Amino acid sequence: MKRAILVSAIHSKDEDVERNLLELEELARSAGIFSVAKFWQFLDKPLNTYIGKGKIEKISKYLQLYNADGIIADDELSIVQKTKLEELLNVEVLDRTEIILKNFARSARTSEGKAEVELAMLEYRLSHLKGSRSHLSRAGGGIGTRGPGESKLETDRRAIRERIRNLKKKISKLSKNRNLKKRKRSESLLPKISIAGYTNAGKSLLLKRLSGFDVKSEDKLFTTLDPTTKKIWLGENVHALMSDTVGFISKLPTQLVNAFRSTLEEVLDSDLILLVVDGSDEALEKKFKISRNILQEIGAGSIPWLLVINKIDLCDKICLKRLSLEYSNAIFISAKKRLYLEDLINKVREKVTHNYVEKWVEISNQKWFKISKTIGMRVLNVENMSESVKVHLKIHPAILGKFTEEIDVFST
Ligand SMILES: Nc1nc2c(ncn2[C@@H]2O[C@H](COP(=O)(O)OP(=O)(O)OP(=O)(O)O)[C@@H](O)[C@H]2O)c(=O)[nH]1
Ligand SMILES: [Mg+2]
């Protein structure tokens, strides 16, 4: 599909259909499909043709007029809806879930990511297998060999189930490896920070700015799929591990929530979550709420978090004023223009060392030289005397005992 008409059936007057369709347009664009027109219809109850017959006739005319070769529905369609629409319009019909899956497929890099996407696709396919032969041949279904007395549909189903089983085994093995790495990290004293939030909010660009590493960031939805972790410098001798994560979206398909649960578990392991939102987006509030809900759903609701309002270079003064009143605890930044990143770093450093124990010590220059880079020690101030230094420190509780012992020996 290259050029598509976007279609939405709405069942509640509260739905902001224009905004939803703009998001679908972005999803399509990111998957390489150009949207030529948008149609929507308010319906009291779901129809097995997704939208009404009159609307379908209208769309059929516009398909020719705009030389479009498919339609995309803004919801996950049932097999009946998809089949009927295809029959009535005689073009390819994709739904929101399939477009999201296409984007995920575009971005998968690691074996685990690729396997997760394939699993989500197969689960979608299993629930949308068409019953009749003609549909099957058109859908190009046909993996595996048919057993005695099995229909084509049964053969397909069996083959898909088998592949799903194998993929699940593979993913569990790969995620065990990742967990080993994660365990190593959790043994370290470095605080763990996750960057989470709606897709395209600027999470990856923020990680790139804070870490100095080249992290892929582009103006497409779901550019990041696999979690990337980088070591970042927070000042005052504090380092942290910061992970970029897959973006959130409204109506996140269940296949993907399940497939990416293990990836999202990275977030569960963090000491702090930076919830990034796009300050220039009119749908900020909705996207912020969706992100908070997803975090709660995956069990990360009680992890300390900080709201980071990004892209303020695109906001005018009035908008900024409104946002700062509404979200008075948020940090306002522009990852692109590198605005207020220092403020963000300072705030993050405070947050991740809040349970460190404060100490003022005077020790010899020689000893200070040896210990000044200790991990788990925040250095707030150093006052140079002639033979010694007076330092104001905050110490990670896990090394406090050992630290105090050593300091006692050398500080005299
Ligand atoms: N103007 C402006 N653009 C920004 C800013 N931060 C990020 N962007 C742009 O927004 C787009 C998305 O940025 P990403 O860093 O890829 O966003 P993401 O949240 O990682 O997105 P996904 O991985 O797709 O979920 C890119 O084109 C960035 O250049 C900013 O502060 N200002
Ligand atoms: Mg990203």
User: How many angstroms separate the alpha carbon of residue 25 from the centre of ligand 2?
Assistant: 19
Q: What is the pLDDT of residue 86?
A: 96
**Which segments of the chain have a pLDDT < 70?**
131-150, 183-187, 258-263, 408-412
Task: List, edge to edge, every strand of the sheet that includes 331-332.
Answer: 228-235, 238-244, 192-197, 272-278, 305-310, 331-332
User: How many angstroms separate the alpha carbon of residue 203 from the centre of ligand 2?
Assistant: 5
Q: Which amino acid is located at 355 in the chain?
A: N
Q: What is the pLDDT of residue 308?
A: 98
| Residue 103 CB–ligand 1 contact under 6 Å | no
**How far is Cα of residue 172 from the mean position of the Cα atoms in its chain?**
20
CA 74 – CA 100 distance, rounded (Å): 11
| Residue 81 CB–ligand 1 contact under 6 Å | no
Q: What is the pLDDT of residue 74?
A: 96
Q: What is the pLDDT of residue 236?
A: 97
User: How many angstroms separate the alpha carbon of residue 202 from the centre of ligand 1?
Assistant: 3
Q: Whose CA is nearest to atom 1 of ligand 1?
A: 311
Q: What is the pLDDT of residue 351?
A: 97
Pick from 288, 336, 337 the residue to mutate for probing ligand 1's pocket: most ligand atoms within 8 Å of its CB: 336
Nearest-CA neighbor of 309 among 198, 148, 143? 198
| Residue 203 CB–ligand 1 contact under 6 Å | yes
54-89 pLDDT tens trace: 999 999 999 999 999 999 999 999 999 999 999 999
Query: How far does the chain reach from its first CA to its final CA, in angstroms?
Result: 76
User: How many angstroms separate the alpha carbon of residue 311 from the centre of ligand 1?
Assistant: 8
Burial class of residue 17 in the structure, from the number of CB atoms within 10 Å of its CB (0-12 exposed, 13-18 middle, 19+ buried) = middle
What is the phi/psi pair of residue 90, to 5°?
Answer: 60, 35
CA 305 – CA 193 distance, rounded (Å): 9
User: How many angstroms separate the alpha carbon of residue 146 from the centre of ligand 2?
Assistant: 42
Q: pTM score > 0.95 for this model? A: no
| Residue 338 CB–ligand 1 contact under 6 Å | no
Q: What is the pLDDT of residue 133?
A: 41
